[in-house]
Structure 1
Amino acid sequence: MSVLDKKPSREQKDDSGLPKLPVPPLQQTLDMYLKCMRHLISEEQFRMTKAITDNFGAPGGLGERLQRKLLQRREIKANWVYDYWVEDMYLNNRLALPVNSSPAMVFPKQNFTTQSDVLRFTAHLISGVLEYKCLIDGHALPVDFARGQLAGTPLCMEQYYKLFSSYRLPGPKTDTLVAQKSFVMPEPEHIIVACKNQFFVLDVVINFRRLNEKDLFTQLLKIMRMAESEEENSPPIGLLTSDGRTEWAEARSALIQDSTNRDSLDMIERCLCLVCLDEPCGMDLSDTNRAMMMLHGGGKDKNGGNRWYDKPMQFIVGADGCCGVVCEHSPFEGIVLVQCTEYLLKYMKGSPAKLVRAASVSELPSPRRLHWKCSPEIQKMLTSSADNLQRLVKNLDMNVHKFNRYGKEFIKKHKMSPDAYIQVALQFAFYRCHGRAVPTYESASIRRFQEGRVDNIRSSTAEALEFVKAMTDKKNNLTDTEKMEKLCEAIKAQTNYTILAITGMAIDNHLLGLREISKDLNLEKPEIFTDETYVISNQFILSTSQVPTTVEMFCCYGPVVPNGYGTCYNPQSDHIIFCVSSFRDSPETSSDMFVKALVECLGEMQDLCNTQAKHSNTRERTEEVNEAAKDRGKT
């Protein structure tokens, strides 16, 4: 092992006791890269890529130079990949946030019968948010521990501190993730309430005292009445935040030319979170429709302008009971969102709304409406933003499916990892629909390390492809036992790569680091990163994530490429919720087609497991009978 491939020392830990993220050995990453891509490209392309990769990793070559620089970076950074990763994954991305980037958590449908029901629920929700923020501010949240593979390891809690104290500022070429806390500005003590495309400042602390739910209800009622009085005259400024990031940066530059707009922007950018009081969406509230409403608000004619997408947490409360939260994803991962929203739903269920018993602040100043001055230039930008959002709304093809035949208990009964099993099923379904395997992204938490976010589990393994071919090729004449062996091999390959990823040894962050360090050194981009195979390897036609919950809700998001699928899944004991998204303007994809294939594939995998279990039981009983007969013969 060369000096470049030495494992990192164990002493580099922060106050939490967590180690630094390791830099994987260079040759290990290059070998794994070739292995991951070999079955996804042509033989000719693979030969070219192998030659390029071998040249990059040659002793004394460019790869070793970049690896040394990465190891030096690791010494001086809490997390050597964090800045590179957040810029590459989010801040440099110019696509609009709704659908393309921001995930949503869909709450159970609420049964509101009056306006008071809506406001009571909202006041209760805000009260829960403030309670949760108190836990965060007091560093009183219990430390998370890993579940699943290598369970029990403590995890980094850094992401929680960004839930209510960060903001994504648009820029012409790259965005900035702004931390709110500073020694100059006081901490924000207000939230922004969006209602009828207008924005209101709701102070949640007045005279050093936090408002109780009765006060919050009173203030929300005032906001609703103020919004109704100005409904016709309010420009839907929130639509600008739904546009592409460069377009929104340009519009924001135009807005801040006026001091009124600057003041309004400042109040929004410094708030704790948004609460969006939505109008009824005018659709049946199926799981699929509620998911779409969370992701994009239904466009300009529904609630699309009743948003501010740059804020990490936007709680949606629809008058028709369509509720949830949509998140700006750059500050934190899905599990942090799950922990927060589960706390809120349990809080609301466990503590009744306190609208009568609590004493109120005697004189409540009215909430403040934010004002905007719109030049003809800004009006033109608003029209363009509205049209762009409308195209996005029409293009999203969503299917939320509750698979009821079985859940994770069935999978565990057959001694398999539920996550690995579902990932193989997704490969099976994609192959059935499209007749090929494609690069696949599955997020893997690296919170075992300081400031850890995620790396990628490359689920499209050669072993998974072998299994799906065994299941789909009628000519192979494989027995069920042979098919089961291939399924087990696919599960094992998936599990092994998962362990690589969560222990900081996967390839995607490492390759990103090598690429970005070459940029920092002002080098010409290395050939390995201009090679067609590397480009293909980062086009994640299947983008997947397991987001399990312990309360009734589910997560959803859009595809990450024009011809791809976004597939979020929530495995429960006896069922699995799948949220499958794609784009209608792609001639290749269809969410309904994918879900139909997925249901079929999960059924065939169940039948295979049951058949093999039956054969195993029969074989075991036969062996027991034979053993008993031998024993009788001996006696």
Structure 2
Amino acid sequence: MAEAHQAVGFQFTVRPDGVDLKLSQEVIKNIYLSGVTAWKKRAIQFKNGVLAGVYPASPSSWLIVVIAMMSSLYIHVDPSLGMINAIKDNLPFLKYSTGLQTRAVLSAILFATGLWLFLIYLLRYTLKALLSYHEWIFESHGKMSSSTKVWLSLVKMFSGRRPLLYSFQASLPRLPVPSVDDTIHRYLESVRPLLDSQQYNQMEVLASEFKASMATQLQRYLILKSWWATNYVSDWWEEYIYLRGRTPIMVNSNFYIMDLLYVTPTHRQAARAGNVVHAMLQYRRKLERGEHAPLRALGTVPMCSTQMERMFNTTRIPGIETGEQLFGSGQFNQQTLPLTLFPILTDIVQHLTDRKHLVVYHRGRFFHVWLYTGGRHLLPSELETQFQRILNDTSEPQPGELKLAALTAGNRVPWARTRIKYFSQGVNKVSLDAIESAAFFLALDDEPQGYEPAKTNSLDSYAKSLLHGKCYDRWFDKSFTLISYPNGKMGVNVEHSWADAPIVGHMWEYVAATDCFHLGYTEEGHCKGDVNKGLPYPTRLQWQIPKECQDVIEASYLSAKQIADDVDFHGYLFNEFGKGLIKKCRTSPDAFIQLALQLAQFRDQGVFCLTYESSMTRMFRDGRTETVRSCTSEAVEFVRAMEDASATRFALFRKAADKHQNMYRLAMTGSGIDRHLFCLYIVSKYLGVDSPFLKKVLSEPWKLSTSQTPQQQLNLVDINKFPKYVSAGGGFGPVADDGYGVSYIIIGENLITFHISSKFSSPDTDSYRFGQNIRKAMIDIQALFKTENDKKIVENAKRVPLENGKKYI
């Protein structure tokens, strides 16, 4: 009963002579401290909001402008060209006030404020115009033109000092809408190596018909949206690609990020979880205050930070729009309803603010853990204590509780209906609200995972655990589930709709560095700091799950397990060489790897396929991703030359690599193909018109889907000094039933990690085999450079100078 007594803030007894009131000083103290912290947080958020709102100016600059205007009154100089007098004579609340001097001062202050705001907007739009220049990205690495140097200097000059996370948001340019002609030309160019002559001619006919018929009308609507919305792609991308999907998001949408590859700071599960959760809370505090430094290319060009807003306190909620009820009533049918009123099943992303608790899953039980005490975060040692209490708890799951989270792993429609029917009232609603409103979800697993060099499939098992686990021990709807293993390893499973991988990667880099280099552990492996055993114990969430609901849970679990069991995963560490050697070859590491993937794909399947590589568009406001179609005509020609041992293959590699780099740069600068075609298709559906061309384009399968995980904060850990403190990156499930998903991370100078996924059910794919093909392709391409260098050495050796020093053999 000790916990119950601690929870009582005050007691009172009614007596004949009055009420005897007893207050708990400890609770009153905590209430006071919580209030002080809340008001302090609001004040900091307000201050930082003002700083970001007036950026690149500063609040102090307003005072400078006001003083300058006031000074002009005393030296009888009117820099306003009569506007101060006009304000003084025409504004009612100044016109009839007493005191000529007061009226003049107030008029000067109003004019100075207006001038200050005008200058802010002038600075912002000047910076926006500068940031719309993208020629710098097309220049050769290490070679910067004079115009780009001047541009870079101007950007630095107009960017101000000490920007906060959201300081540049108002200055970022909008994503431009490419012309229809350019998009169709690039699309036809991208499919040319994949189609025979007859198929390509048919596609040309479809494209010509589309341009001649409806393209202009669709493009006009799209341009109108680009003027009105901050980004013409992102909201439709989130809704139609993610939230309207009815298939399970586990494996099909969610992705994962691994822990440090070689280092485990402590093997105590509760201690590691304590440090990592505390580091996440520190990151969240800086995020809510906007105090993180904005990510900037070249250290100067800012990237959009919008996606970071929903990192914490966010859950994907399965939802059924009211259109379904209308359609189900029998009053309407598909012929009488316009397209936009068809019954639509869609999820929503629910983001809350200032959540102060965490929900922890362990051995089939859900626990509620407070993250604050006395107006401050729990210390790592206090979090360790709480998590250890959960690990020591031997209570049994309630009926239906063990596999409850499988509802988030199965199809969305059963989950949406079950949520409404069984979790909209009573204790089930209270417990579900606790999960969905939590800062994030923590799973304390009971089976160790992680990379072990002695075990050939340790990385495979680790990846599958992060990607889907047991199908009921992650809450796949949370923005992310933090996963803790009994050997001290960690990992993250991420819901994809709210953000892309680099956003969570940014947080994970910060957490890993803070955990290892700032918080640290005792010699025994515990969190540093005193142990506070007076904290209230974590509380079990209560459930009343009837048999009918348990049947739905079991069905969702079986559906999810079938998907999970079909995932063929292979993690491969390529350490023969890395970024250092590739850069010495004077080529892009990404282009090198993408061409190796094309060579591996051809050797594995015997044919070329449509290839997806993800590129970011965060140089634009609210930008997310764009597709780079890596299987180009140049890449195909190079691969065929490699298989034929052609003497021209080195030159063909250079040509293919240059082509890939140019396409990647076009995608980054808003001139990609696929997002434009996707939005044109959405507009056509809203207008109720049918385009065979767009339908054909969007139905093409991506049999090879690839993505690079970037390292974004290289300043956090000196890899040269601490070479073992490197991340293993992350990965995702297979996109096509008969294709491969490949994620890779270039770590330091000498390591590249590949995460390869496919399906066991496909007789044509094998993830381990594909990994071996990647290895051989990488080595074969590197050998081209060695051969080329040997040729140069021989040629130079022949150019031996004669004794006179003027003639050569």
TM-score by length of 1: 0.89
Conserved? CA contact 1:563–1:589, under 8 Å = yes
Hey, what does 2:112 align to over in structure 1?
none
Q: 1:258 touches 1:373 (CA, 8 Å); kept in 2? A: no
Partner of 1:490: 656
Q: Deviations over 1:565-585 (max 9, x none)?
A: 110011231121111110000
Q: 1:414 to 1:11 in 2, by over 3 A?
A: closer
Match of 2:539 among 368, 380, 385: 368
Question: Percent identity of the aligned residues?
Answer: 29
1:426 maps to which of 597, 610, 615: 597
Residue 352 of structure 1: aligned partner: 520
Structure 1 residues 160-217: Cα deviation after superposition (integer angstroms, max 9, x where no partner): 1111032211235544342423xxxx62111111111221111112342322223222
Write the mapping of 1:475-554 to structure 2, written as runs, cut at 5 A.
Answer: 478-479=646-647, 482-521=648-687, 523-531=688-696, 534-536=698-700, 539-549=701-711, 551-554=726-729
| Equivalent residue, structure 2, for 1:24 | 178
Distance in 2 (alpha carbons) for counterparts of 1:457 and 1:152:
25
Over the residues paired in the alignment, what is the CA RMSD in angstroms?
2.4
Q: Which residue of 1 aligns with 2:217?
A: 65
Task: Output aligned runs, 1:179-578, within 5 Å.
Answer: 179-181=350-352, 187-226=354-393, 228-231=394-397, 233=399, 234-280=401-447, 286-297=458-469, 299=470, 304-350=471-517, 351-353=519-521, 358=529, 363-473=534-644, 478-479=646-647, 482-521=648-687, 523-531=688-696, 534-536=698-700, 539-549=701-711, 551-572=726-747, 573-578=749-754
Alpha-carbon shift at residue 617 of structure 1 (Å): 2.9
Looking at structure 1, the residues matched to 229 and 710 of structure 2 have their Cα atoms a distance apart, in angstroms, of: 32
User: Which residue of 205, 221, 236 maps to 1:51?
Assistant: 205
In the other structure, the counterpart of 1:601 is 777
> Displacement, 1:471?
1.1
The alignment status of 1:142 with 2:307, answered yes or no, reads: no
Give 1:545 shift: 0.5
Give the TM-score of the pair, scaled to structure 2: 0.70
Q: CA deviation at 1:323?
A: 2.1
Distance 1:212 1:67, change over 3 A: same
The corresponding residue for 2:13 is: none
- Equivalent-residue separation in structure 1 for 2:622 and 2:395 (angstroms): 47
- Asked whether the 8 Å contact 1:11–1:19 carries over to 2, the reply is no
d(CA) in 2 for partners of 1:492, 1:588: 31
Q: Deviations over 1:376-398 (max 9, x none)?
A: 22111121122122212221111
> Which of residues 100, 111, 129 in structure 1 aligns to 2:252?
100
Matching of residue 124 in structure 1 with residue 283 in structure 2: no
Structure 2 CA distance for aligned equivalents of residues 266 and 484 of structure 1: 60
Give the residue type in structure 2 aligned to 1:613: N
> AA paired with 2:684?
S
Rounded to whole Å, the distance in 1 between the matches of 2:403 and 2:807 is 89
Cα pair distance change 1:508/1:464, threshold 3 Å:
same
**Is the 1:455–1:506 contact (alpha carbons within 8 Å) kept by the matching residues of 2?**
yes
Equivalent position to 2:790, from 614, 625, 632: 614
Per-residue deviation, residues 384-436 of structure 1 (Å, max 9, x unmatched): 12212221222111110111211111111110000011001001100111111
Letter in 2 for 1:411: I
Distance 2:531 2:373 in 1: 11
- 8 Å CA contact 2:521–2:528 kept in 1: the answer is no
> Which structure's relative contact order is higher, taking Cα pairs within 8 Å and 6+ residues apart?
1
Moved more, 368-377 or 581-590: 368-377
SS at match of 1:561: coil
Match 1:170 to one of 310, 318, 323: 318
Q: Secondary structure at the match of 1:143?
A: coil
Letter in structure 2 aligned against 1:162: R
**Secondary structure in 2 matching 1:39:** helix
Q: Is the 8 A contact 1:12 1:19 kept in 2?
A: yes
C-alpha spacing 1:22/1:165, structure 2 compared with 1 (3 Å): farther
Please give the secondary structure, in 2, of the residue aligned with 1:543.
Answer: strand
- Aligned amino acid, residue 70 of structure 1: L
Judge conservation of contact 2:356–2:438 (CA < 8 Å) in 1: yes
3-state secondary structure, aligned to 2:360: strand
Contact map agreement 2:635 2:653 (CA 8 A) in 1: yes
SS in 2 for 1:229: coil
SS in 2 for 1:240: helix
Q: Distance in 2 between matches of 1:596 and 1:15?
A: 44
Equivalent position amino acid for 1:561 in 2: A
> Aligned partners of 2:130 and 2:790: how far apart in 1?
51
Question: In the alignment, is residue 589 of structure 1 matched against residue 765 of structure 2?
Answer: yes
Structure 1 residue 98: Cα displacement? 2.0
| 2:190 maps to amino acid | C
Indicate if the aligned counterparts of 2:169 and 2:621 stay in contact, CA closer than 8 A: no
- Contact 1:180–1:187 (Cα < 8 Å) also in 2: no
Task: Tell me which moved more, 438-447 or 255-264.
Answer: 255-264
Q: How many residue pairs align between the two structures?
A: 598
- Whole-Å separation in 1 of the counterparts to 2:785 and 2:528: 57
Provide the rounded CA distance (Å) in 2 between the counterparts of 1:12 and 1:425.
34
How far apart are residue 322 of structure 1 and its match? Answer: 4.2
2:671 partner SS: coil
Contact 1:197-1:307 at 8 Å conserved across structures: no
Change in Cα spacing, 1:403 to 1:356, as seen in structure 2 (3 Å) is closer
Equivalents in 1 of 2:362, 2:533: separation in Å? 25
Between Structure 1 and Structure 2, whose CA radius of gyration is higher? 2
Query: In structure 2, what is the equivalent of residue 4 of structure 1?
Result: none
Asked if structure 2 preserves the Cα contact closer than 8 Å seen for 1:279 and 1:320, the reply is no
Q: CA deviation at 1:601?
A: 1.1
Within the candidate set 187, 190, 210, 1:33 is matched to 187
Aligned to 2:196: 42
Report the AA paired with residue 302 of structure 2: P
Describe the SS at the equivalent of 1:524.
coil
Query: For residues 668 and 641 of structure 2, what CA distance do their matches in structure 1 show?
Result: 30
Structure 2 segments unaligned to the other structure (5+ residues): 1-127, 133-167, 321-343, 715-725
Q: Which residue of 1 aligns with 2:143?
A: none
Q: Distance in 2 between matches of 1:280 and 1:167?
A: 26
Partners of 1:168 and 1:263 in 2: CA distance: 17
**Structure 1: how far apart are the matches of 2:250 and 2:796?**
55
- Worse overlay, 217-226 or 287-296: 217-226
Question: Which residue identity lines up with residue 525 of structure 1 in the other structure?
Answer: D
Distance 2:236 2:496 in 1: 16
Q: Is the 8 A contact 2:385 2:531 kept in 1?
A: no
Give the secondary-structure state (helix, strand or coil) at the position aligned to 1:576: strand
The answer (yes or no) to whether the contact 1:211–1:360 under 8 Å persists in 2 is no
Instruction: Give me the whole-angstrom Cα distance separating, in 2, the residues matched to 1:339 and 1:75.
Output: 31
